[in-house]
Amino acid sequence: MNGAESLLRTLVGSGVEVCFGNPGTSEMHFVAALDRVDGMRTVLGLFEGAVTGMADGYGRMAEKPAATLLHLGPGLANGLANLHNARRAATPIVNIVGDHATYHAQYDAPLASDVHGFARPVSGWVHSSASARTVAADGARAVQAALQYPGQIATLILPADTAWMEADHPAPALPRSMAATVSTEAIDQVAASLKSGRKTMLLIRGAALREAGLNAAGRISATTGARIACDTFAPRCQRGAGRVAVERIPYFAEQIVEFMKGTEQLILVGASPPVSFFAYPNKPSWCTPADCKISYLAHAHEDGPAALEALADAVKAARQPLHVGASSRPDIPTGPLTPETAGQVVAHFLPDNAIISDEGATAGGGMHRFAATIAPHDHLALTGGAIGQGIPVATGAAVACPDRKVICLHGDGGAMYTLQALWTQARESLDVTTVIFANRSYAILNIELARVGAGKAGPKAFSMLDLHNPVLDWVKLASGMGVEASRAGTVEEFASQFGSAMKNRGPRLVEVVL
């Protein structure tokens, strides 16, 4: 048994079942070991940014880490943007990054790089194996580190000689970290503040945005009148009919200020106070009222759902939660095809228990107004703001949940960053429907150009934000990677094409021309 095989057996024994990869020469012993070890599904991605995004989507839905297999520092660097998003989502991921053999490092070969330097900003744990006989133990520690609650990225650097030299045996799985219990003092303090009669907002993130936590929050709201909110880009939120509805914090700074206006106390459950996404001249960065009292019911490493349930008991909350969405499927709209009517079509056809990977940007908000009353679903947002997440996250979510329909809502500009994931969807026969909102522009940047006070823009400035000349042809792009594709220019065409996709399995793409 060599180091690579001992590592692979350790990963499988520690509960890692999927490896998303784009390997190179230094990883070939790990690749060869895949045929000698049962229990690891391998998924090939054609670009490392797609690979890391897939691992993010898988981890958010499976609630355990996948492995990535990346080639040296440059391969890891190609995946950093979606590792940044995964870090913001607190997604558990184990990166396996090959490196030159230890004795080869002295020669500064062309692919030599500072792998530690690339890994550190996105990783909660980084380690380089020093010996084939320690690789297995290092792998077990990597999985344990990734599972440190609420989840983080662990990067294990594997020099080529530690992969090919003789090893002893796999390492046993290590204990999994559990969420810390919130103190009774914190619960009592927040309960007392809720009884004060001040206007209160519960700002929730993480596991508390699933049914148990939301139900407890709804009960608290029914008794105390507290508003229930979540971040603009929450990693995963369960929405739909029969679930407690959550207000979503707006995107722009002045909208957040208006949203928070009148809030006298803010109670945080796994969340942080809302701030502006960017700094703008003459606009606030801190968006909570200056006189608002901020209390932490649960920090990110603590058990938010249990804290909300304990708080509900402490305030003697009503048995039935408030703000539960009643089932109401919107009609298929008429009129021109716009972001709003397209969103209504998606809401109409959305099946039960679907997963939505949302990077619709300026065009994707049309269905949010129906989120509380349509079929129950999970919503996965662009947590770190680095575009190019949507298609890979949808792909990874479909690997994690093969029996659920996955819908990806994506702007055309951001989708070009990682469209290679469509090829993986076709190769793996994944049940993902991708909706491309084709407005032929980085539309959000046209808005931002006017907001940042950069002065009057001219043709050169606008050309940097325009996606015409030539126009992207998403039907050909998707078809070229093996995904059935169609184009919709009217509401009727989109309803027919999207409705068909919801009735059938397999990868599909619909380009919505706006």
3-state secondary structure (DSSP) of residue 369: helix
Q: What is the pLDDT of residue 60?
A: 98
State mean pLDDT over 190-206: 96
Decide if 229 contacts 249 (C-beta within 8 A). yes
Q: What does the mean pLDDT of the chain come to? A: 96
Q: What is the pLDDT of residue 126?
A: 98
Q: Which of 17, 26, 117, 116 is nearest to 67 (CA)?
A: 17
Integer Rg of the chain from CA: 24
Decide if 128 contacts 154 (C-beta within 8 A). no
Q: What share of the chain is helix, strand, coil (3-state, %, to 5)?
A: 40, 20, 40
Tens of pLDDT, residues 70-95: 999 999 999 999 999 999 999 999 99
Q: What is the pLDDT of residue 469?
A: 87
Q: What is the pLDDT of residue 442?
A: 82
Q: What is the pLDDT of residue 73?
A: 97
**Which residue type occupies 442?**
Y
Rounded CA-CA distance 395/427 in Å is 11
* Longest distance between any two alpha carbons in the chain, whole Å: 69
Decide if 228 contacts 209 (C-beta within 8 A). no
State mean pLDDT over 171-180: 97
Residues, the chain: 514
State mean pLDDT over 250-254: 93
Q: Which two tokens stand for residue 353?
A: 């228990």
Convert 449-462 into a string of H (helix), E (strand) and C (coil).
HHHCCCCCCCHHHH
User: Which residues on adjacent β-strands are paired with residue 355?
Assistant: 378, 406
User: Which residues on adjacent β-strands are paired with residue 2?
Assistant: 166
Q: What is the pLDDT of residue 465?
A: 85
Rounded CA-CA distance 170/3 in Å is 9
State mean pLDDT over 126-140: 98
Q: What is the pLDDT of residue 447?
A: 80
Q: What is the pLDDT of residue 463?
A: 87
Tens of pLDDT, residues 451-486: 887 878 888 888 888 888 899 999 999 999 999 999
Other C-beta atoms within 10 Å of 218: how many?
Answer: 24
Share of the chain above pLDDT 90, in %: 92
Tens of pLDDT, residues 418-437: 999 999 999 999 999 999 99
Q: Which of 68, 98, 118, 103 is nearest to 160 (CA)?
A: 98
DSSP code of 285?
A: S
Residue 421's H or E segment, with its range, is helix 421-428
Convert 5-68 into a string of H (helix), E (strand) and C (coil).
HHHHHHHHHCCCCEEEEECCHHHHHHHHHCCCCCCCEEEECCCHHHHHHHHHHHHHHHCCCEEE
Rounded CA-CA distance 211/217 in Å is 10
Residues 6+ apart with CB under 8 A from 81: 49, 52, 386, 388, 417
User: What one-character-per-residue DSSP string does 163-205 give?
Assistant: HHSB---PPPPPPPP-PBPPPHHHHHHHHHHHTT---EEEEE-
Rounded CA-CA distance 3/136 in Å is 7
Q: Count, in order, helices (H) and strands (E) of the chain.
A: 20, 18
